[in-house]
Amino acid sequence: MTTLHTTGLDGNALQISLDEITRLTAEDPLDAVVVGLPRRLDGSASALTPRIERFATRLRERAGLAVILQDERLSSVEAESRLAAREKNWRVRKEQLDAAAAAVILQDYLDAHPRGIDTDPSHP
């Protein structure tokens, strides 16, 4: 798994994401991209939610792929718990946390859609 390092949503996140999609598509066609959607614990939108939704829309338009928003609540907590079970050094865990949280988000999506990819862009 690759972690993309960007300067943020207002920086180069879109271009870096598009470049990675292009690289991955050259190896094997993609059906969709899953993007974590931040929400508060009660399920309501956070301050970042509309920014991620705009990013997903731009990514969908530019990449020509389905971009699926997946609730990312508690993904970092789950990832930290999984990492702590096998890695005791917190510095090492911290370096791996973003990739592990992304894996949790993707797995949550796959578990919720066992028959395949739901490409409905309105899917939460």
- What CATH class does 7-73 carry? alpha beta
Query: For residue 120, what pLDDT is reported?
Result: 55
Buried b (16+ CB within 10 A) or exposed e, 49-76: eeebeebbebbbeebebbbbbbbbbebb
Please say if the pLDDT value at position 119 is more than 60.
Answer: no
Could you give the residue ranges of the DSSP H alpha helices within the chain? 13-27, 49-63, 75-86, 90-112
Q: Count Cα atoms within 13 angstroms, Cβ side, for 55.
A: 23
Domain ranges of the chain: 7-73, 74-115
List Cα–Cα distances, 91 to 28, 78, 104, 108, 120, in angstroms.
Answer: 34, 17, 20, 26, 39
Please say if the pLDDT value at position 121 is more than 80.
Answer: no
pLDDT per residue over 41-93, tens digit each? Answer: 899 999 999 999 999 999 999 999 999 999 888 777 787 788 788 878 888 77
Q: How confident is the model over 29-46, as a mean pLDDT?
A: 92
pTM over 0.85: no
